[in-house]
Amino acid sequence: MSELNVVSLSEAQLPAEPFRARHLINGEWQASADGATFERVSPSHGKVVTIAGKGGPRDVDAAVFAARKAFDKGGWSRTSGKERATLLLKIADLIDRERERIAFHETLESGKPISQAMAEIEGASDLWRFAASLARTMHGDSHNSLGSDMLGVVLKEPIGVVSMITPWNFPFLIVSQKLPFALAAGCTAVIKPSEMTPATTVILGELCMEAGVPAGVVNIVLGYGDPVGTAMTTDKRVDMVTFTGSTGVGKAIVSAASGTLKKVSLELGGKNPQVVFPDADLESAIDAIVFGVYFNAGECCNSGSRIIVHEDVAEDVIARTVDLSRQVPFGDPLDPSTKVGAIITADHQGKIEGYVRDAEQSGADIRLGGEALDVPGLSGQFYQPTVIANVQSNMAIAREEVFGPVLSVLTFKTLDEAIELVNDADYGLSAGVWSDNVHTCLEFARRARAGTVWTNTWMDGFPELPFGGMKESGQGRELGKYGLEEFLEVKTVTMRIGRTRAPWVS
């Protein structure tokens, strides 16, 4: 479509050889026990960019054994906060050193723009630094008012061996929302990245080894959800599972983990609304709407895919959103000017297409896009920026995660109606409000059922602020001090002072 801003074929070169990814088990890089491998084809260039070990139950068994042994021996779990913080800071520095290499492989495997990947890796090293600061502030409580002969102490201890299962949309950033916090707590880990994006987690493993993380503390098993993920969630030597991905798999993990009653922490999907009131700074709101829906090609749990606009300004907002959407550079993710890259797989592109056709048949009105995007010279899959108006809250496109560059627009008349629409969702990850009236923003923030509320902004995030969902968007929190708490167990120590205990049998 000529009226869109399409970036085709950058100068950047694809690597001559695919990246070779192996499992990291007990400090050693290993092929799969049965020698199996799989290939990842770049979603934007259609070339094999990674060949990775395809793990099975024997590889998971060896990794969990190593993590359990490392934890129980105490060589990491009983070190001081100072020692752990020092190591985490070293890893942060190594991430900065390798930023370009990590970003390049992230882009090749995920199809996300290289400029965005660079920013994500920078954000990730900051998460390692923040987690290092928490490692030195971890403490429990003391109870000094239980009576003159009693003292109570509440200890915080690392929970133990943690299975980490991560998705393909932000591979390096999401593992960095989990691993440094678990390590700061003193846990050991077995990590499985998505089979579509294994390379950068492997590079992170290399950096952990270079920094001096003891053998068995960080283990990586590559491969598919079944059998690798399932073995990681059912093994009784694992104490906790932390998962980011789809709500469907999250529910399967809760049920798999229930056999051994592990703690499960989940970061799942969202159908995140932004509500626009007529008194808002519409220029800023429209830019944030465009950013919110096209960022990472919409393949984002925080995608602002559901816009709820006051009917007095709805037509104006839709027209201006369409105009701005046409200006967003879609295309080759290796070109530094590109803002929206490829769709992760052809199957996923088909799923996006299915939602758009279903909305059309249900009476919604496609104002822009709604088709695959042809990027000259590239053989991967891309989707046009898409704006759909006249969406009703009972349509699948208003309720389910499309995970593509597709915006649904609904309208409202009153604040109560807007909040009803916001909360009429199975998800509760994030929500936003645009208004110059502080009372409107505060009332919205308090009544929206979402783990994060943005007022007059969208998707600003900080390591200091916790992130996570209500309802079917998840359980538990990452980041902030809560991100460390997730990996801690509470132990009560009750102490009697002196020989004051009255005998039970007299």
* Catalytic center residues: 267, 301
- Cα 444 to Cα 415: distance, rounded to the nearest angstrom: 8
DSSP state of 412: E
Nearer to ligand NDP, 128 or 403 (CB): 403
| CB-based contact 468:132 (threshold 8 Å) | no
CA-CA distance, 437 to 434, in Å (whole number)?
Answer: 9
Query: How many DSSP H helices and E strands does the chain contain?
Result: 15, 25
Q: How far is the CB of 369 from ligand NDP (least distance, A)?
A: 18
Considering only residues 127 through 166, tell me which ones interact with ligand NDP, judged by CB under 6 A.
165-166
d(CA 245, CA 266): 8
Judged by CB under 6 A, does residue 201 bind ligand NDP?
no
The Cα 29–Cα 497 span in angstroms is: 52
Strands (E), 150-228: 150-158, 161-165, 188-192, 218-220
- 192 belongs to the binding site for ligand NDP (CB under 6 A): yes
Q: Which of 113, 160, 245, 432 binds ligand NDP (CB under 6 A)?
A: 245
Amino acid symbol at 475: Q
The Cα-based distances of 199 to 23, 115, 193, 301 in angstroms read 11, 18, 9, 22
Q: Is 297 in the site for ligand NDP (CB under 6 A)?
A: no
When binding is defined by CB under 6 A, the residue of 86, 230, 362, 423 that contacts ligand NDP is 230
Does the protein bind ligand NDP through residue 194 (CB under 6 A)?
A: yes
Residue 69 · residue 219 · CB < 8 Å: no
Q: How far apart are CA 74 and CA 109, in angstroms?
A: 36
User: Please, what is the minimum distance in Å from the beta carbon of residue 481 to ligand NDP?
Assistant: 22
Tell me which amino acid residue 368 is: L
Tokens linked to 420:
């009803």
Nearer Cβ to ligand NDP (298/463) = 298
Closest alpha carbon to 220 in 212, 238, 232: 232
Sheet-wide strand order for 488-496:
141-143, 150-158, 488-496
Stretch that binds ligand NDP, among 5-13, 120-128, 205-213, 222-230 (CB under 6 A): 222-230
Query: What track of x and - describes contact with ligand NDP for positions 362 through 401 (by CB under 6 A)?
Result: ---------------------------------------x
268 binds ligand NDP (CB under 6 A): yes
428 binds ligand NDP (CB under 6 A): no
CA atoms within 13 A on the CB side of 129: 12
We find the least distance from the C-beta atom of residue 338 to ligand NDP, in angstroms, to be: 21
Interface with ligand NDP, residue 469, by CB under 6 A? no
Decide if residue 246 touches ligand NDP (CB under 6 A). Answer: yes
Return the number of the residue (201 or 338) whose C-beta is nearest ligand NDP. Answer: 201
Instruction: Rule CB under 6 A: choose which of 31, 51, 153, 252 binds ligand NDP.
Output: 252
Other Cβ atoms less than 10 A from the Cβ of 474: the count is 27
Stretch of residues binding ligand NDP (CB under 6 A), selected from 102-110, 122-130, 248-256, 379-387: 248-256
The residue (of 353 and 417) whose beta carbon lies closer to ligand NDP is 353
Question: Does 475 sit near ligand NDP (CB under 6 A)?
Answer: no
DSSP state of 260: G
Burial of 362 (0-12, 13-18, 19+ CB in 10 A): middle
Q: How far apart are CA 429 and CA 487, in angstroms?
A: 21
Q: Where does this chain touch ligand NDP (CB under 6 A) — which range of 92-100, 106-114, 138-146, 224-232?
A: 224-232
235 binds ligand NDP (CB under 6 A): no
Alpha-carbon gap, residue 473 to 25, rounded angstroms = 32
Tokens encoding 320: 């201006």
Tell which one of 3, 17, 226, 460 touches ligand NDP (CB under 6 A).
226
Of 97-105, 247-255, 284-292, 488-496, which segment contacts ligand NDP by CB under 6 A?
247-255
Tell whether residue 272 is a contact of ligand NDP (CB under 6 A). no
Q: Is 330 in the site for ligand NDP (CB under 6 A)?
A: no
Encoding tokens for residue 6? 């399409």
Instruction: Considering the complex, state which of residue 109 and residue 195 has its C-beta at the smaller distance from ligand NDP.
Output: 195
C-alpha 310/C-alpha 275 separation (Å) is 8
Q: Which two tokens stand for residue 144?
A: 């000094």
Out of 249, 264, 389, 484, point to the residue binding ligand NDP (CB under 6 A). 249
Stretch that binds ligand NDP, among 128-136, 213-221, 226-234, 448-456 (CB under 6 A): 226-234
347 lies in the site for ligand NDP, by CB under 6 A: no
- Options 169, 242, 274, 430; binder of ligand NDP; rule CB under 6 A: 169
Count of residues of this chain found to bind ligand NDP when the rule CB under 6 A is applied = 26
Closer residue to ligand NDP in complex, CB, 74/248: 248
CA–CA gap between residue 342 and residue 44 (Å, rounded)? 5
Task: Answer yes or no: are the C-beta atoms of 382 and 370 closer than 8 Å.
Answer: no
Exactly one of 403, 412, 454, 487 binds ligand NDP (CB under 6 A); that residue is 403
The footprint of ligand NDP on residues 25-64 (CB under 6 A) is none
Query: What's the token pair of residue 428?
Result: 């509760």
Residue 470 within binding range of ligand NDP, rule CB under 6 A: no
**What is the per-residue binding string for ligand NDP in 93-112, x denoting contact by CB under 6 A?**
--------------------
Partner residues linked to 156 by β-bridges: 490
Binding site for ligand NDP (CB under 6 A): 165-169, 192, 194-195, 224-226, 229-230, 233, 244-246, 249, 252-253, 268-269, 301, 348, 401, 403
